[in-house]
Amino acid sequence: MSVLTDERRERTDGRPLLEISHLQTSFYTDKEVIRAVDDVSFDIHPGETVGIVGESGSGKSVTARSIMGLIESPGRIDGGAVKFRDLDTVRRFAKKYDKRTVDVTDEALAEAKGNDAETDADAFRSLVSKKDFVFVEERNGDEITAGYVDTTRAPDGAMRNVRGGGIAMVFQDPLTSLNPVYTVGNQIKESLRIHRGLSGQAATEKAIDLLEAVGIPDAARRVREYPHQFSGGMRQRAVIAMALACDPELLICDEPTTALDVTIQAQILELLDDIQEERDLGIMFITHDMGVIAEIADRVNVMYAGEIVETAGAVDLFENPRHPYTRGLLQSIPGTQGPDERLRTIEGDVPTPNEKPTYCRFAPRCPEAFDACDRVHPVPVAVNEDAADHAAACLLYPEDRSREDAVTLHDEQGKGETDAKTSGTTTGGATSDGTAADGGDTQ
């Protein structure tokens, strides 16, 4: 196992497996534009489980679907990048889509800089044309040694290859996520055929292996059965087997245990844990259940109204929640109160994020809100100088600064970021809005 781990680590070279930077997904309805995912950034490393928690409507599932390229009209990804750094995928795509592959190696950037570009970001923009989606960052001779595929820019054909092959997804409701008119085996084999070209007896055997791997007894018989002959927990196991069929690097679980009862839930979590250890999968785990997150996640991102409001290691987050929203969530878990105390709740509902934030979206429900919360939009900052790994988007932080200083910091950083975005110079550079492409398009 450790050999495999090292190999995988080497393949991403210490870089995250998935890097989401400034992702922005909106839904354009007749009435309003809903910014379901509003400037979200986080990383997932190989073998790491990243939890996303938040209430319903906070944008968790839309984030997952944006990564998978499953956003459909009237939804649209407006900006940001989702960088998938699986080297195999990058190499394969660089070969297949060589016209849409671009070198953004240090040398290439330096050369562009030498020409006319002033900053790194300008240089990046001058290299990348509108259609590019495979980015090569390092080459060793002819071999690509580092790079990424931006799934927000990838064409549908390439995305189909990534879906299931590189990134797999397990959905919330196992009772409805299998097609009722085909056998479980048929649906697992479909994956195997698409991504590995397996068919016939070989595919059936592989499907049986997969079902056994997820703990379904008598798999050889079960593979020929229909979903309605499986129990809820079994179906979720089958869905997981289907997701694992093509050995993905990243597994996105969208509330995979919400529809299951507690004992089955524990079994599924254990199964995911085992699978992760075995295959060194990166897992993105979406849930609104703090208990589940505590059990499975290495790192937790708390989402509220389309934004990540707090991010920290799981232990740190549960011991020292900093954002008032996270505290509210933790206090509303039954069993954390005294015997005569009523269960605490967060008053109100998640607002619909339908405009550019110039204030804190949680302020109306926040017990600690003060004047500035209504006019300054908080940006994620480290909660104090010692905790580089624990950030909160709240005007109360950094806690080692005075409140005025903190507010000024948020104000400036927020403005700086807006400026940077409007002029198209995000650090990642790979914004998918038209401006980024101008440099590369001129002949």
DSSP 280: T
Q: In Å, how far are 239, 395, 405 from 402, measured between CA atoms?
A: 51, 10, 5
Shortest CB 84 distance to another protein, Å: 14
C-alpha–C-alpha distance, residues 185 and 204, integer Å: 7
Nearer to another protein, 234 or 376 (CB): 234
To another protein, the closest distance from the beta carbon of 100 in angstroms equals: 19
User: Is residue 228 at the binding interface for another protein, with CB under 8 A as the rule?
Assistant: yes
**From candidates 190, 289, 399, 417, binder to another protein by CB under 8 A:** 190
Pairwise CA distance, residues 239 & 233, whole Å: 10
**CB nearer another protein, residue 228 or residue 403:** 228
Q: Pick the closer one to another protein by CB: 20 or 162.
A: 162
Query: Minimum Å distance from CB 306 to another protein?
Result: 21
Q: How far is CA 59 from CA 115, 247, 320, in A?
A: 42, 27, 24
Of the ranges 214-222, 236-244, 303-311, 402-410, which one interacts with another protein (CB under 8 A)? 236-244
Closer by beta carbon to another protein, 195 or else 322: 195
* Smallest gap from residue 432 Cβ to another protein (A): 21
- Across 221-259, b (16+ Cβ under 10 Å) vs e yields ebbeeebeebeebbbbbbbbbbbbbbebbbbbbbbbbeb
x/- site string to another protein, residues 140 to 179, per CB under 8 A?
A: --------------------xxxxxx--xx-xxx--xxxx
The rounded distance, in Å, linking the Cα atoms of 385 and 52 is: 24
Which tokens hold the place of 265? 């839930």
- Least distance between another protein and beta carbon 426 (Å): 28
What is the C-alpha to C-alpha distance for residues 282 and 168, in angstroms, rounded to an integer?
11
Residue 163 has which token pair?
């879906």
194 lies in the site for another protein, by CB under 8 A? yes
- Our finding on whether 359 is near another protein (CB under 8 A) is no
- Torsion angle (degrees, nearest 10) of CA 440, 428, 151, 294: 180
| Min dist. Cβ of residue 60 to another protein (A) | 15
Nearer to another protein, 141 or 180 (CB): 180
| Residue with smaller CB distance to another protein, 63 or 183 | 183
Taking a C-beta distance cutoff of 8 angstroms, is the pair 42, 394 a contact? no
Positions in 239-268 near another protein (CB under 8 A): 239, 242-243
Alpha-carbon Rg for the chain in angstroms? 23
Nearest CB to another protein, comparing residues 183 and 431: 183
CA max distance for the chain = 74
Stretch that binds another protein, among 35-43, 184-192, 206-214, 378-386 (CB under 8 A): 184-192
Considering the complex, state which of residue 3 and residue 181 has its C-beta at the smaller distance from another protein: 181
Neighbours of 46 (CB within 10 A): 25
Query: Are 320 and 403 contacting, i.e. CB atoms less than 8 angstroms apart?
Result: no
What is the rounded CA–CA span in Å between residue 283 and residue 169?
10
Choose between 216 and 300: whose C-beta lies nearer to another protein. 216
- The 50-89 contact track toward another protein, x by CB under 8 A, reads ------------------x-x-------------------
- Smallest distance from another protein to CB 21, Å: 23
Nearer to another protein, 15 or 195 (CB): 195
Judged by CB under 8 A, the residue of 191, 276, 311, 431 near another protein is: 191
Q: Which of 109, 100, 184, 168 is CA-nearest to residue 134? A: 100
- Rule CB under 8 A: which residues touch another protein? 68, 70, 160-165, 168-169, 171-173, 176-183, 187, 190-191, 194-195, 226, 228-229, 239, 242-243
